[in-house]
Amino acid sequence: MNDSSRQVPDLSRFFAPQTVALVGATDDTTRFGGRLLRQMLKFGFGGRILPVNPGRSELQGMRCYATVADLPAAPDHAGIVVPADKVLPVLRECHARGIPFATVFTAGFSETGTPEGRAMQAAITQFARESGMRVMGPNCYGVINYPDHFALTASSVLEPDARRDGSIGVVSQSGGLGGINVMWRAMEAGLRINYATSSGNEADLDAIDFARFMIEADSTEVLLMALEAVRDGAKFARMAERAAELEKPIVVLKLGRTRHGSRAAASHTGAMTGADDIFEAAARQFGVKRVNDSRELYETAIMLRGKRWPRGRRAASLSLSGGNVVQVADVGAQLGLEWSDYTATTQEQLSGLLPGYGKVSNPTDTTSLASGQPELFRRILDIISRDENVDVMVPVFTVPRRTELEQGMQIARESAKPVVLLLTGKCLDDPTLTVERIVADGVPAYRDTVTCLAAVRAAVDYREFLDRFRRQDSYTRPVAADPDAARALFADEGPATLTERASKAVLRCYGLPVTAERLARNAGAAIAHARDIGTPVALKIESPDIAHKSEAGAVRLNLSNAMEIRSAYEEIVAAARRYDAGATINGVLVQQMAPRGIEMMLGVANDPVFGPVVAVALGGIYVEVLRDIAYRVAPIDAAQALAMLHELRAYKLLEGVRGQARSDIAALVDCIVRLSWLAHDLRDAIADIDVNPLLVFERGALAVDALVVLKGKDGRRR
C-alpha cells in the first residue's frame, strides 16, 4: 500500500506535453536514443523537441543542448536514456530545471535481481517522493498519445495513426506484451487506440496512475490492462470505482496466476504478485472483466465500445447455416445467455416470411429460404431486433454477399438494441469487407462463436455490474459492531493466537452469533456451567498451547448429566497432559451443543495487495479438497455477501436438497457482512480469522468454533 495516501496525479502534461526534452538523444537509430527521436518525429509531434547530448550541437536540424541545465525553457516532460548510474543525477537536474515529468527507459534496476539494481531503483522512488517530480520507468517502453501524435517510446515498430478518434486505452507494464500482443493486434483488428503506456519497473508512477488518467479522458471508451503485478489493491479498487462512476469498462489480463507465472513476473519487473484467487475475486467485485489471453483484451473491447451493453441476457440469433444455429445455441447457453421465445407478434410476422415453419424457434434457422434474398434476411433481422423478449442480436453469416453484410451493419447502427455480426467465413463478392473492416466502421463483429458470445456475455455482465454498483451500500457499518470492545479483548503483548473462547468473544463484539460457553477450572464448576447453559453440552480443553483439541483427544460431546460431565472433565485434562506435558491449561470450556445444520466456513485473510478479505466455503474437510471458496475485499454489504454465496457450487446445499429445508441464508449473509467489517476495522491488529464450522440452520446460524490470529507490531502474523 505504498501509494494509497498520495493524491491522484494530474498527468495532462505527461501525456500531452508542449515541450519535451530527450536526454541521451542521438541520430544513430541503431541506438535507443536514436529510436526515440525517430519515433517522435515519425508520429509528427507538434510541440517543441529539445535534444540533450553533450557530444552534439545539432540533431536532425534541431539545436542540441549539452546538459538539462542549458535548456532554454522548462519542458513538460523529459525522456531519459542515459547509463543506469547517471539516471538519478539527470533526474535531479530535470527537477532543478522545473521539469515535472520524466520517463526513464534505461534498464539495469530491480529487474536484474541484484542488490545494486534494487538500491538504484529505491533511490529513484525516494527522489520522486521527496521532490514531487513524477517518474515513469525505469526499464519501460514509454507512452503514446495517438490523438495528439505524441510518441515517447522505445518501440521502433509502431506506426502513427493520422485519425484522432482513438477510444481504447492500453496500459501495460511489459512493452512487448502491451505494445505488440495488445495494442498492435487491437489496431489490426480494427480498433483505434487513444493512449498506451508500458510502465516497466514502476519506481514511481504505476499502471494504475496511467489507467486513472485514461479513464478520466473523454475520448476513452474502454480501458485494456495487461498486468504482471498489482502492487496496491486499494488504489486498484479506487481506480475501478472511478471507472464505474464514468461507466467505462476495464478489461484486464493479470498474469502471475501460477507459481511459475509469478516467478517469471518477479524476475521480469521485480514485482511480487499477491494471491491470484484474491485478484480474481477483487476484479469481479469491482466490475473489472478478467481475461486469460492478451488476445481476449481487444476481442472483448470490440463489444464493450460505445456503451451499447445489452439490458439483459436474452439473446437472439439467426443463420441460414443450420449447423451454425446449433453451435450458437449451444455456446450461448453454456455462457449463460438465454435464447428466449419470440413474442406472438414476432412469430406472426416471421411466419409470413418463413412459410412451412410451425413455431419459429430462437436461434432461428432460416434455411436456404433466405439465401440470396438479402431483403428477406433484412426484414427477418429487423423483426427480431424489435422483439421485446430480445436484448441483443447475433446474426451469423457464413459466405454472405456484400449487400447482406451491409444490411447487417446498418441494422447494427440503427437498432435500439446491440447487434453483433458473426462472420464465420467471408464475404463472397467483396473480400475487402472483412470482420476487421466492419469493426473499424464501428460495428461489433467477430469470426468465432465462442469469442463472440463470450464478449456479449461480458457486456451483459458489465451492465449488470453497473446496476448493482449504483445500488450498492458497502460503506454502512452494521449495528452492534464495537471495535473498541473487540480491541479490549486482546492485550498488546498477548499470545499470537487467541483461544477459541477469546476468539468467539471478538466475534460477539460484531454481533456474530456464537455458542454459549464458559470456562470451568474444576469439574464442579463445569457441572454448574452446564446447568446454566442447558444440556447437552460439549467439553473442550482450553490451552494456548493446544491448537488441535480433537487430535489431542481433549474434546467430549453430547454430555447431559453430572456424572458424565465430571468424568469427561477429568479425562480431557488427563488427555491434554498426555498430549503435551508442558502445556499451560486454562481449564475446560463448557459449551452449548449445537443442533445439526449446514457446516460452513467463514474466514478472514490479509492479502499483501488487497488487505483484509473475507472468505466463505463449505465447512469441514471439504474446503481444502473442493476449493469451492468465494472471496471479497472487506468490507462488503449484504448484496455482495449474497453474491459470494451464489458463486459457490455448495450453494444448492443451503437451498436444501433431497427434501431438506432451506437454510437461513439471510442469517449467513449477515454473519459474512459483520465479519467483513470486523476484518476491515481491526485490520491493523488481526492477521486472520477462521470460523469453522459456522452452522446454518433453518432459522439462524451459530459459530461453533473460531480462531483469531493476531498481527505482531510489524504488521505481520505474530
Q: Provide the grid cell at 674.
A: 459483520
Which amino acid type is present at position 19?
T
Place of cell 457464413: 398
Stretch that binds a copy of itself, among 48-56, 503-511, 576-584, 650-658 (CB under 8 A): 650-658
- From candidates 46, 356, 431, 582, binder to a copy of itself by CB under 8 A: 356
Interface residue with a copy of itself among 292, 416, 491, 646 (CB under 8 A) is 292
Write down the residue that cell numbers 489480463 correspond to: 253
H or E element, residue 591: strand 587-592
For 205-210, the CB contacts below 8 A with 24+ separation are 205/9, 205/11, 205/14, 205/134, 205/135, 205/136, 206/3, 206/231, 206/232, 206/235, 207/171, 207/172, 207/173, 208/232, 208/235, 208/236, 208/239, 209/8, 209/9, 209/11, 210/11, 210/143, 210/171
Q: What are phi and psi of 687, to 5 degrees?
A: -85, -55
Site string for a copy of itself, 314-333 (x = CB under 8 A): -----xxxxxxxxx-xxxxx
Identify whether the C-beta of residue 508 lies closer than 8 Å to the C-beta of residue 530: no
Neighbours of 77 (CB within 10 A): 27
- Our finding on whether 531 is near a copy of itself (CB under 8 A) is no
Nearest CA among 66, 77, 193, 177 for reference residue 135 = 77
CB of 29: closest distance to a copy of itself in angstroms? 12
The nearest distance, CB 629 to a copy of itself, in angstroms, is 12
Q: In the bound complex, what is the minimum distance in angstroms from residue 652's beta carbon to a copy of itself? A: 5
Q: Which position among 134, 268, 290, 313 is part of the footprint of a copy of itself (CB under 8 A)?
A: 268
d(CA 302, CA 446): 9
Report 15-74 residues binding a copy of itself (CB under 8 A): none
Q: 398-427: which residues touch a copy of itself (CB under 8 A)? A: 398-399, 424-425
64 or 618, CB closer to a copy of itself? 618
600 burial level (CB within 10 Å; 0-12, 13-18, 19+): buried
Q: Is 267 in the site for a copy of itself (CB under 8 A)?
A: yes
Q: Is 83 in the site for a copy of itself (CB under 8 A)?
A: no
Candidates 125-133, 412-420, 442-450, 489-497 — which segment interacts with a copy of itself by CB under 8 A?
442-450
Distance CA 252, CA 702 (A): 39
Q: Is 334 in the site for a copy of itself (CB under 8 A)?
A: yes
- Cβ burial 338-371 (10 Å sphere, 16+ → b, else e): bbbebeeebbebbeebbeebeebebbbbbeebbb
- Where in 92-131 is the site for a copy of itself (CB under 8 A)? 107, 111-113
3-class secondary-structure state, position 513: coil
CA 246, chain centre distance (Å): 17
Cβ distance to a copy of itself smaller for residue 16 or 653? 653
Quick check: 293 binds a copy of itself (CB under 8 A)?
Answer: yes
Yes or no: say if 546 and 582 are a contact pair by the CB < 8 Å rule. Answer: no
Q: How far is the CA of 216 from the CAs of 10, 151, 168, 330, in angstroms?
A: 10, 20, 13, 39
CA–CA separation, 15 and 169 (whole Å): 12
Tell me: does residue 653 bind a copy of itself (CB under 8 A): yes
Contact status: 474 vs a copy of itself (CB under 8 A): no
For residues 133-172, which are near a copy of itself according to CB under 8 A? 157, 172
Residue 21 or 350: the one with the smaller Cβ distance to a copy of itself is 350
Taking CB under 8 A as the rule, does residue 552 contact a copy of itself?
no
- Smallest distance, Å, CB 185 to a copy of itself? 7
Question: Is the CB of residue 135 less than 8 Å from the CB of residue 205?
Answer: yes
Closest CA to 445 of 453, 454, 435, 431: 435
Rounded Cα distance between 622 and 115, Å, is 44
Closest approach, Cβ 334 to a copy of itself, in A, equals 6
The yes or no reply on residue 557 touching a copy of itself (CB under 8 A) is no
State the CB neighbour count (10 A cutoff) for residue 132.
9
Is position 596 an interface residue for a copy of itself (rule: CB under 8 A)?
A: no
Which range of residues in 363-371, 567-575, 578-586, 635-643 is near a copy of itself by CB under 8 A? 363-371
Cβ proximity to a copy of itself: between 469 and 651 the closer is 651
228 binds a copy of itself (CB under 8 A): yes
Instruction: For a copy of itself, give the closer residue by CB, 147 or 332.
Output: 332
Binding segment (CB under 8 A) for a copy of itself, from list 42-50, 179-187, 212-220, 631-639: 179-187
- Cβ of residue 274: shortest distance to a copy of itself, in angstroms? 15
| 713 is an interface residue for a copy of itself by CB under 8 A | no
Distance from C-alpha of 327 to C-alpha of 258, rounded to nearest angstrom: 32
Q: Give the nearer residue to a copy of itself in terms of CB position, either 628 or 647.
A: 628
197 is a site residue for a copy of itself (CB under 8 A): no
Chain residues 621-640 in contact with a copy of itself, contact rule CB under 8 A: 621-622, 624-628
Q: What is the 3-state secondary structure (H, E, C) of 677-704?
A: HHHHHCCCCEEEEEEEEEEECCCCEEEC
Asked if 662 is part of the footprint of a copy of itself (rule: CB under 8 A), the reply reads no
Using the minimum distance from each CB to a copy of itself, give the nearer residue, 29 or 131: 29
Residues in the interface with a copy of itself (CB under 8 A) total 84
Interface residue with a copy of itself among 339, 465, 569, 579 (CB under 8 A) is 339
